[in-house]
Chains A and B, each alone.
Chain A
Amino acid sequence: MDLFRVLVVDDEKDFLETLVKRLNKRNIETAGVASGEQALEMMKQKLFDVVILDIKMPGGMDGIEALREMKKIQPLAEILLLTGHAAVETSIEGMKLGAFDYLLKPIKLEELLVKLAQAFEKKDSHDQKIRSARIKELIRFPGRVFDQEKP
């Protein structure tokens, strides 16, 4: 498995810390933040492949709002929604906004890993497509790359 980068956003500190530790232990480069605002800050500085986002966080930024912002900052990052209750409507709304899937707490790490792998795969294939499209373009119009790279 390629190394990939994950950001966990959850206000439950114990959960957050443990999950981050366990993912890191499994060679997944994981960062954890406790709020939507911090997550956005983090994403502006660093690229992530998958974001695990708790959509029900008391106070501060609403999960859906955070999701919207994240998609603006890193449109290619896959986002896995996590919820402690069955806010199916919210989850559906989230998926409409581009979330990859949603999971219900509590969740076993094994299941989470499966989902993460799927999300990563999707992201990866997406990246591949973009890359191959670029390559095709390069082959067709070699000069174009330089045109685009110019600000």
Chain B
Amino acid sequence: MRNELYAGLRRKITAITLVVSITPLLALGATIYFQFSGMYRDKIKEQIYYRAKTQADGVDLFLKERTAILGAMADTNQFNFIVEEKNLLPIFSIVNQRAGAFVDLGVIDNAGRQSAYVGPYDLAGLNYYQQPWFGEVMTKGIYISDVYTGFRQIPHFIIAVRRQENQLGWILRATIDSDVFGAIVKAAQVGRTGDAYIINSEGIFQTRPRFEGKILERSHLDPSQFGGRTTILERMDKRGKSTLYAGSWLNNDKWLLVISQEVEEEMASFYATRSIEIAIIMAGVLAIVMVTLFTTRTTVNRLRETDGRLDELNAQLVHSDKLAALGKMAAGVAHEINNPLAVILQKTGWMEDLLEDEDLSKSNSYAELKASIAKIEEHVERARKVVHGMLGYVRKMEPRLEDVDINDTIMQTLSLLSNYARINNIEIKTDFAVDLPVIASDQSQLQQVFLNIINNAIDAIRKDGLIWVRTKRDDSWLSVNIEDTGPGIPPDKQKRVFDPFFTTKEPGKGTGLGLWISHSIIEKMGGSISFETDVGKGSTFTIRIPIVVPEKK
């Protein structure tokens, strides 16, 4: 029952402590994690956004530069001049010197025929009239194509500018190697999973992507998902990995520069931090759990010990109370019995007086009457002894303080008992501490106590044995040890040793009040009587008396 209570208490304390200490820790950890994760994600998005934007700006600039230089060349040269291949060649080398990345250069007249061509392919004389871009460049003035393979089967794109010369329009057209162009874009391919490429408005790759396909193939991205200028998308692939896409429109919104990055890779350092955080929290939780279990166990055990001591104390108090109540009762009973006894004794005395008178002494019954009276008196005497024994308890209520030398007191007691011990062949040995202080106590009461206990020891031994009486000082206590070689006290009787009227002696030999009175006397003095007993070997009674120094007179 008690154990269940303690276990319940322990569980409760443990649970509350754990909840109270772990909950804030976990809450803190989670908050830090989510806040930090959000911030980190925002940072990554921001980074990829700016990368896409700057890269798109770079590509745009590249195109504008090329377009501008072609425009300048067309504007500064007459058709008649430029159509000569020997004139076109230096122009080609100038533009390549200034801007680079041009593969070839051609002049197309207003009928769509390539009138002049400088470059590695044999494209002179081709007619572009049917090509859709031809019409567009003729109307708009500038045209930048998507990447295509065209006649030469190599991915490229063209930049074409129209010159309006008098009524006649002609076109200066240049090819840009897609690979050269793609290299600029590729510079933005970072990390293990980072990709950068350009797709057109239909989603066709304009530059070679790192992972997701080949040039001129259709990308899995739908460009219409991207809004104006620069936008960011996040998509999950089949494996559940999340990828960030930043798209930035360029080339008059015909092309979309895409930078992609797996979130996981970018988050790697964050995940490392997260692992550390989790480890720290786990360690913290473990420490809390261990400390909680330990302290709770210790606390509850302490409590249990304290309760145990309290119970013991309570039991002692109850016992003392019981003895005190019995004492009061004894006083009352003594009074009630003593008065009738006194009457009986007087009456028998009177009878005796009368028997001596007159001629009754000659009566036949004289002897019998005399014997009966003697018996009555004997038994009154017996009852008187019992009552006086009880009264001894009451009498001790008011101890008198005098200077007492314990060793002296014991010696006096022993002298009273020495004859009784000698006839039973019992030796009494003493081992007295010599430095015992004189204390303020009641010598006759102490003598009564020693007398009771040593007398009991002699009675217990019966014949042939040894009694040791030892005194010693124990801090602020005097202790007296009385050890006998008697038969010991059987376990079933140990509890009742200090109860009144409890005796193991033959009827008429002991009243069962000796130890009861001794116990009361010593308790009243603030001391204690205890005993240890070993059945078959003997008992040791220990009397502890507080050292009370007599007042200086």
CB-contact partner of A106 in B350, B380, B391, under 8 A: B380
Q: Are A85 and B346 in contact (CB under 8 A)?
A: no
Q: Are A105 and B342 in contact (CB under 8 A)?
A: yes
- Is A75 on the interface with B (CB-CB < 8 A)? no
Q: Are B343 and A14 in contact (CB under 8 A)?
A: yes
A22 vs B352: C-alpha distance when bound (angstroms) = 10
> Smallest CB–CB gap between A151 and chain B, Å?
45
CB-contact partner of A21 in B335, B350, B380, under 8 A: B350
Name the residue on A nearest B345 (C-beta): A106
- Is B388 on the interface with A (CB-CB < 8 A)? yes
- Is B38 on the interface with A (CB-CB < 8 A)? no
Interface residues of A in 98-114 (CB under 8 A from B): 104-109
Give every chain A residue within 8 A of B41 (Cβ-Cβ).
none
Q: Are A84 and B334 in contact (CB under 8 A)?
A: yes
CB-contact partner of B342 in A22, A25, A56, A106, under 8 A: A106
A141 vs B335: C-alpha distance when bound (angstroms) = 55
Q: Are A85 and B350 in contact (CB under 8 A)?
A: no
Specify the main secondary structure of chain B where it touches its partner: helix
A19 vs B353: C-alpha distance when bound (angstroms) = 12
> Smallest CB–CB gap between B245 and chain A, Å?
108
Give every chain B residue within 8 A of A107 (Cβ-Cβ).
342, 345
- Is B91 on the interface with A (CB-CB < 8 A)? no
CB-contact partner of B394 in A21, A56, A85, A105, under 8 A: A85
> Smallest CB–CB gap between A93 and chain B, Å?
12
- Is B349 on the interface with A (CB-CB < 8 A)? yes
Give every chain B residue within 8 A of A89 (Cβ-Cβ).
398
A15 vs B343: C-alpha distance when bound (angstroms) = 5
Give every chain B residue within 8 A of A22 (Cβ-Cβ).
346, 349-350, 353
A84 vs B350: C-alpha distance when bound (angstroms) = 20
Can you sample 22 A-B contacts with CB below 8 Å?
Answer: A15-B339, A15-B342, A15-B346, A18-B343, A18-B346, A22-B350, A25-B353, A84-B338, A84-B339, A85-B338, A85-B394, A86-B331, A86-B392, A86-B395, A104-B388, A105-B341, A106-B341, A106-B344, A106-B380, A106-B384, A108-B345, A109-B346
A88 vs B349: C-alpha distance when bound (angstroms) = 27
- Is B322 on the interface with A (CB-CB < 8 A)? no
Interface residues of A in 12-36 (CB under 8 A from B): 12, 14-15, 18-19, 21-22, 25
A133 vs B346: C-alpha distance when bound (angstroms) = 41
Give every chain A residue within 8 A of B380 (Cβ-Cβ).
106
Give chain B's interface residues, CB within 8 Å of chain A. Answer: 331-332, 334-336, 338-339, 341-347, 349-350, 353, 377, 380, 384, 388, 391-392, 394-395, 397-398
Give every chain A residue within 8 A of B342 (Cβ-Cβ).
12, 15, 84, 105-107
Give every chain B residue within 8 A of A56 (Cβ-Cβ).
335
Give every chain B residue within 8 A of A15 (Cβ-Cβ).
339, 342-343, 346
> Smallest CB–CB gap between A111 and chain B, Å?
11
- Counting chain A CB atoms within 10 Å of each CB, the highest count among B335, B336, B342 belongs to B342
Q: Are A12 and B334 in contact (CB under 8 A)?
A: no
A109 vs B346: C-alpha distance when bound (angstroms) = 8
Give every chain B residue within 8 A of A25 (Cβ-Cβ).
353
Name the residue on B nearest A17 (C-beta): B346
Name the residue on A nearest B380 (C-beta): A106
Q: A85-B391, A88-B395, A108-B349 are in contact. List 8 more A-B contacts (CB 8 A).
A: A15-B339, A85-B331, A85-B332, A86-B394, A86-B395, A105-B338, A105-B341, A106-B342
> Smallest CB–CB gap between B329 and chain A, Å?
12
Give every chain B residue within 8 A of A108 (Cβ-Cβ).
345, 349, 377
A119 vs B528: C-alpha distance when bound (angstroms) = 42
A89 vs B400: C-alpha distance when bound (angstroms) = 11
> Smallest CB–CB gap between B197 and chain A, Å?
116
A14 vs B353: C-alpha distance when bound (angstroms) = 16
Give every chain A residue within 8 A of B346 (Cβ-Cβ).
14-15, 18-19, 22, 109
Contact status of A14 and B395, CB under 8 A, knowing A106-B341, A107-B342? no
> Smallest CB–CB gap between A30 and chain B, Å?
13
Name the residue on B nearest A82 (C-beta): B342
Give 4 closest A-B pairs by Cβ, nearest first.
A85-B335, A106-B342, A18-B346, A86-B391
A14 vs B347: C-alpha distance when bound (angstroms) = 8
Give every chain A residue within 8 A of B345 (Cβ-Cβ).
106-108
> Smallest CB–CB gap between B230 and chain A, Å?
110
A88 vs B397: C-alpha distance when bound (angstroms) = 9
> Smallest CB–CB gap between A101 and chain B, Å?
16
CB-contact partner of A109 in B334, B349, B391, under 8 A: B349
> Smallest CB–CB gap between B18 and chain A, Å?
63
Give every chain B residue within 8 A of A88 (Cβ-Cβ).
394-395, 397-398
Give every chain B residue within 8 A of A21 (Cβ-Cβ).
350
Q: Are B350 and A18 in contact (CB under 8 A)?
A: yes
> Smallest CB–CB gap between A60 and chain B, Å?
16
